[in-house]
Structure 1
Amino acid sequence: MAWNQPGNNGQDRDPWGSSNNNGGNSGGNNKGGRDQGPPDLDDIFRKLSKKLSSLGGGKGSNSNNSGGTGSAGPNFSGRIIGIAAVAAVVIWAASGFYTIKEAERGVVTRFGKFSHLVQPGLNWKPTFIDEVRPVNVESVRELAASGVMLTSDENVVRVEMNVQYRVTDPAAYLFSVTDANDSLRQATDSALRGVIGKYTMDKILTEGRTIVRSDTQRVLEETIRPYKMGITLLDVNFQAARPPEEVKAAFDDAIAARENEQQYIREAEAYANEVQPRANGQAQRLLEDARAYEARTVLEAQGEVARFAKLLPEYKSAPEITRERLYIETMEKVLSHTRKVLVNDKGNNNLMVLPLDQMLRGQTGKAATEGSKDTSLIRLNPTPSTSNTADAGTSSTSAGSIMDQRRANTQRSDNTRVGRE
């Protein structure tokens, strides 16, 4: 905007209130028109001094009527006061600028009463009227709580817990309660003691840590919700739970014994899981063997009964022949598993046995060194006889020949019986 604007019927409109009709105060430098120069600062401060002096009782007008020497003092003092006033206004305006960080929000109070919130960046406030308190709303704050507490089984345990939270409402955080951090500390201690008092010491020290943590967080949130403290709980960490130092050694022994108990229980369960299936398998195998033996025995008995049932009519028709056949078949089964040779002396009724099994093992050399006597011959049912060894040798036959002879005699008897029929 131009300092002088033409108009008003050829009179310039000066923003400082000067005109062409002013006297020597302007000094001819503040003339109207387009060729008017920049304003004189001395003239500005002089006018400001006059106004301030007029407010003081009109002394400035009296001094103007006096001589030039008397008017210099008041003008100078008024100029100093004006400069001081302008400087004060500038300093006051400059002191109102402030900056809010990115992670903060500014809470503005006007004459002590909450006014509004300001966002991050450069802001201005009227000094001595507004007051700004920055609050960090992004950082995670921590609160530690610890103490000696009583459990439900009347034991004493030392517990330590850490609470993490964040400010979400700066105004409520500052003005809802006197001190939000102290209030949260007291609420945490109260909630932790209430939860610890519901559980036994063994559960708190061992498997109940997760339950204590979740219950403490739930109770703490319910406690601070009515107060509207402007904070939000992020996490509750159950850091440590231990007995007092005076009885710590005894509790350590108890915990070690409990761990050994659990270890032995797991080992016993593993052994039972290993042995039980094996025992079940052995029992099942014994049952299956018993069933198989039962079936085999029954079937064998039934087979024997069927065989005897078929043999009975033959025995009734020819008892002697059937008896002889049974004897031959039985002796064949018995003698088929031995290597001994039976020698029958018909004249002396002596039955000698040749131990061929020992002879096959290479023991015949030892028997030859014991003498020329035929000690290898074992006499069964000995009777006095005058026959010599040569006769016995010529009349001896093997068990196989005896059985063949008996079988032939039986066959002839069967043929004779068939012919008779």
Structure 2
Amino acid sequence: MSADGLSPDEQIINGISNFIKKPGTIPALAVLLVGGWLASGFFIVSPGEQGIIRRFGEKVRLASAGLNWRMPWPVERVDIVNVEQIRRIEVGFGMQSRESSVYRRGGGGRSDAMMLTGDENIVEAQIIVQYKVSDPAKYLFRLFDPEGTLYTATEVALRSAVGRSTIDDVLTVGRLKVQEETRDFLQRLMDNYESGLMITEVRLQVVDPPDQVKDAFHEVVRAREDRERLINEAKGYQEDVIPRARGEAQKMLRGAEAYKEERVLRAQGDAVRFTALLGEYQKAREVTWNRLQIETLEKIYPLATKVIVDPQAGANVLPLLPLGSPTALDVLQGRPDPGSLSRRKEVLS
């Protein structure tokens, strides 16, 4: 209690009252309040983000990256959306993720992963869908729960793709086709919903038959892989052997054609020579006959080994019969001594 009998609270109230009563105080306060209210309308949009400015709840314009201004609350407000961030949802995992960019629906358990194939078999499939926001306005205002809608649409698209495939295709070579069909169908669904989402990737993580028959299916898959491997090896061997055999056949055919041409030309030459010789023989038989004998002996004698022994040499000379030497008959029949083959070629050439 002060000397004038006022409490501290009363003294503060009196001080404020006296300050307000001063000339120019109220206009200054009004200017400060209005300036602060207007300054609250400045905001920053980071790179990779877009701002949606709403006036009394209605979208009026977009805000790009950088410093922007809007009418302060409650006239306008801004919603900022990251349009570059890659988000993802996971279907068939049956648990919530701790990552903020991953959406999983809890409570589904294994039922979300159970799919029926086109040949009425059951498989368990887990899929990851990556997406980003392509239209922030549609993303914010068209759907109440865009991620939940995308999750449900992913289930629909995946079940549709699996339902059009056999279990063998889903478990083996048809997985890529299932992924592509799921992605295309899912994008069409989200476009029809005007969700403002763009699907960037669809990836099947696990596709397995039920546990009761998993081992049997894996054995079948391994057997098919072995069959494909053996078929590929056989095709490789076929592609190697057949061209080689064809090449050998062509080589033999060309050799036969060349031999044929050679024999025909040689026969034609022999025929021409014989015809010319016949004409000479008819003109002068004795002379032609003697010339033929001389030419034949000139060819035979260089190839035949002949030993002449003087009968007067007496017993000092051991008679030797050269059984290994070619006779004239051998030469005429084309059976020369191997040692004299080279000499025969030189003479005949």
TM band (smaller chain): 0.5 to 0.7
TM-score by structure 2 length? 0.58
For residue 144 of structure 1, what is the amino acid of its counterpart? E
Deviations along 1:178-202, one digit per CA (max 9) or x if unpaired, are 4222121111100111112222334
**Mapped contact 1:107–1:170 kept (Cα < 8 A):** no
Structure-to-structure mapping, 1:7-406, within 5 angstroms? 41=16, 102=45, 103=49, 105=51, 114-116=57-59, 124-125=72-73, 136-138=81-83, 139-146=85-92, 147-167=113-133, 172-173=138-139, 176-229=142-195, 231-244=196-209, 245-338=211-304, 340-343=305-308, 374-377=318-321
Aligned match of 2:4: none
Provide the C-alpha distance between the structure 2 equivalents of 1:171 and 1:318, rounded to a whole number of angstroms.
Answer: 121
Distance 1:309 1:235, change over 3 A: same
Residue 374 of structure 1: SS of its match in structure 2?
coil
Distance 1:135 1:161, change over 3 A: farther
Provide the C-alpha distance between the structure 1 equivalents of 2:192 and 2:233, rounded to a whole number of angstroms.
Answer: 52
Deviations along 1:329-360, one digit per CA (max 9) or x if unpaired, are 3233233223x21438899xxxxxxxxxxxxx
Deviations along 1:207-247, one digit per CA (max 9) or x if unpaired, are 44443333222211222333333x31241322324322443
Deviations along 1:365-409, one digit per CA (max 9) or x if unpaired, are xxxxxx966142469xxxxxxxxxxxxxxxxxxx9xxxxxxxxxx
Provide the C-alpha distance between the structure 1 equivalents of 2:266 and 2:136, rounded to a whole number of angstroms.
Answer: 100
Provide the C-alpha distance between the structure 1 equivalents of 2:255 and 2:73, rounded to a whole number of angstroms.
Answer: 102
Provide the C-alpha distance between the structure 1 equivalents of 2:293 and 2:193, rounded to a whole number of angstroms.
Answer: 114
Deviations along 1:68-95, one digit per CA (max 9) or x if unpaired, are xxxxxxxxxxxxxxxxxxxxxx9xx99x
**Mapped contact 1:204–1:241 kept (Cα < 8 A):** no
Q: CA deviation at 1:262?
A: 3.7
Residue 303 of structure 2: SS of its match in structure 1?
coil
**Mapped contact 1:107–1:117 kept (Cα < 8 A):** yes
Aligned-pair Cα RMSD in Å: 4.3
Provide the C-alpha distance between the structure 1 equivalents of 2:134 and 2:259, rounded to a whole number of angstroms.
Answer: 85
Provide the C-alpha distance between the structure 1 equivalents of 2:233 and 2:164, rounded to a whole number of angstroms.
Answer: 33
Provide the C-alpha distance between the structure 2 equivalents of 1:242 and 1:252, rounded to a whole number of angstroms.
Answer: 12
**Mapped contact 2:128–2:205 kept (Cα < 8 A):** no
Provide the C-alpha distance between the structure 2 equivalents of 1:341 and 1:141, rounded to a whole number of angstroms.
Answer: 107
Deviations along 1:247-272, one digit per CA (max 9) or x if unpaired, are 33333333333334443444344434
TM-score by structure 1 length? 0.50
For residue 88 of structure 2, what is the amino acid of its counterpart? E
Deviations along 1:98-134, one digit per CA (max 9) or x if unpaired, are 9977457578797xxx4557967798535xxx99795
Please say which of residues 247-256 and 116-125 is displaced more in the overlay: 116-125
**Mapped contact 1:137–1:167 kept (Cα < 8 A):** yes
Provide the C-alpha distance between the structure 2 equivalents of 1:318 and 1:307, rounded to a whole number of angstroms.
Answer: 16
Distance 1:100 1:342, change over 3 A: same
Aligned match of 1:364: none
Distance 1:105 1:322, change over 3 A: closer
Distance 1:239 1:100, change over 3 A: farther
* Unmatched segments (≥5 aa) in structure 1: 1-38, 46-89, 348-370, 380-398, 400-421
Provide the C-alpha distance between the structure 2 equivalents of 1:308 and 1:160, rounded to a whole number of angstroms.
Answer: 93
Provide the C-alpha distance between the structure 2 equivalents of 1:154 and 1:378, rounded to a whole number of angstroms.
Answer: 95
Q: CA deviation at 1:294?
A: 1.8
Provide the C-alpha distance between the structure 1 equivalents of 2:73 and 2:279, rounded to a whole number of angstroms.
Answer: 137
Q: Percent identity?
A: 32
Provide the C-alpha distance between the structure 1 equivalents of 2:282 and 2:130, rounded to a whole number of angstroms.
Answer: 109
Alignment size in residue pairs: 263
For residue 136 of structure 1, what is the amino acid of its counterpart? V
**Mapped contact 2:126–2:207 kept (Cα < 8 A):** no
Distance 1:253 1:109, change over 3 A: farther
Deviations along 1:276-330, one digit per CA (max 9) or x if unpaired, are 4433332222222222222222222222222222222443455455444433432
**Mapped contact 1:100–1:134 kept (Cα < 8 A):** no
**Mapped contact 1:217–1:236 kept (Cα < 8 A):** yes
Residue 156 of structure 2: SS of its match in structure 1?
helix
**Mapped contact 2:179–2:204 kept (Cα < 8 A):** no
* Unmatched segments (≥5 aa) in structure 2: 1-13, 21-32, 93-112, 329-349
For residue 89 of structure 2, what is the amino acid of its counterpart? L
